[in-house]
A and B are shown apart, each in its own frame.
Chain A
Amino acid sequence: MSGTFTKAMARNIFYGGAVFFFLLLVALTFDTMGGLPKSDNRANLTESVLRGKHIWETRNCIGCHTLLGEGAYFAPELGNVYPRRGAEFIKAWIKSQPTGTPGRRQMPNFNFTEQELDDIVAFLKYTSEINTQKWPPNIEG
């Protein structure tokens, strides 16, 4: 067999390639961070939204639902639930859980205060206004 194949060269190419592409990722990350203000709806990141996000996290909502397509796939997408259902429906729905219908998927009741419910709605409204490149394809998420 003609040609050469040395371990030292393979190693150098690995280090060179890995560093190169990692730097590229870092550069793109910088550009993304610079561009985010245009798409991430940070203007509406109110105290209420932040409280809502905290509630979202501490109730492990992501364990059943998806948010912008990420999470579990057991329950509906909530990134666009605000335009889909509206604030009042969302609050009423959360309060009425679990349905207790035999054999159906159940959502726990979290005994939220009215303030907490408003915070969750604020968070979901903020999320729905993030520019997601028109995802999901339709209102059903």
Chain B
Amino acid sequence: MNTCAQTLVSPPALPAVASDSPARRLPGDLAIWFFILAELLAFGAFFIAYAFARANNVELFNEQQLALDRNAGALNTILLLTSSYFVVRAVQAAEAGQGRRAATWIAGGFACGAGFIVVKLFEYTAKFAAGVSLSSSTFHMFYLVLTFFHFMHVILGLVILAALWNGARKGRYSPGNMNGIETGAAYWHMVDLVWLILFPLVYVMR
């Protein structure tokens, strides 16, 4: 109990690992990492549930999966990856002391994220028109729940990016003050990370 509790409350300072870094440091706020872990668990549970539900109904899943728009899915993957890349560049700019320049990168990241939303909305419109709903089939239920749950995360992520953009424009982030931008970036990368499994799982795997 004790050791476990100790780990959760304050991860023990690990012995210096022979590497380039003098001290290992968790980027961003510890609180966001707990949130990210909880989110990863929720998404993970959904992915596994999807996989096993599919195993019991392979034909239905394969057939209805074919109707999905893989081009939209792939385009969205590229948008999210690029957006993540821009956000990394923003963090790097802040770390290099170019806080205001970070704003431009974040704006780029935001634009890509917004692009994801637009593509997704087109995709949803087409699906809803085709009669896809939460109750139309198990596959559709999973497709909608997974992508919509993720979609909401993208929206929340965009709100966070907007806040970061605002902060960066005001020159809030600097090598001495990275907490805000690192925290927001970590969340945004999590949204990306989850999609990296969601795309092959729901759109491609047969």
A and B, direct touch (CB closer than 8 Å): yes
Chain B residues near A2: list those with CB within 8 A: 13, 23-26
Chain A residues near B149: list those with CB within 8 A: 24
A4 to chain B, nearest CB (A): 5
A40 to chain B, nearest CB (A): 13
In the bound complex, how far is the Cα of B27 from the Cα of A17, in angstroms? 20
Closest A residue to B14 by beta carbon equals A2
In the bound complex, how far is the Cα of B133 from the Cα of A60, in angstroms? 38
Q: A3-B26, A24-B149, A35-B134 are in contact. Are A16 and B156 (CB under 8 A)?
A: yes
B185 to chain A, nearest CB (A): 13
Interface residues of B (CB under 8 A from A): 10-11, 13, 23-32, 35, 133-135, 149, 152, 156, 159-160, 179-180, 183
Chain A residues near B183: list those with CB within 8 A: 9
Chain A residues near B28: list those with CB within 8 A: 4
In the complex, A92 has a CB within 8 A of chain B: no
In the bound complex, do residue B10 and residue A1 qualify as a contact, i.e. CB atoms below 8 Å apart? yes
Chain B residues near A5: list those with CB within 8 A: 29-31
A52 to chain B, nearest CB (A): 28
Chain A residues near B134: list those with CB within 8 A: 31, 35
In the bound complex, how far is the Cα of B179 from the Cα of A10, in angstroms? 12
30 A-B pairs with CB atoms under 8 Å apart are A1-B10, A1-B11, A1-B13, A2-B13, A2-B24, A2-B26, A3-B27, A3-B30, A4-B29, A4-B30, A4-B179, A5-B31, A6-B31, A6-B179, A9-B29, A9-B179, A9-B180, A13-B31, A13-B32, A13-B35, A16-B159, A16-B160, A20-B152, A23-B152, A24-B149, A24-B152, A31-B134, A35-B134, A35-B135, A38-B135
B162 to chain A, nearest CB (A): 13
Chain A residues near B23: list those with CB within 8 A: 2
A21 to chain B, nearest CB (A): 9
In the bound complex, how far is the Cα of B28 from the Cα of A10, in angstroms? 12
In the bound complex, how far is the Cα of B149 from the Cα of A16, in angstroms? 15
B106 to chain A, nearest CB (A): 17
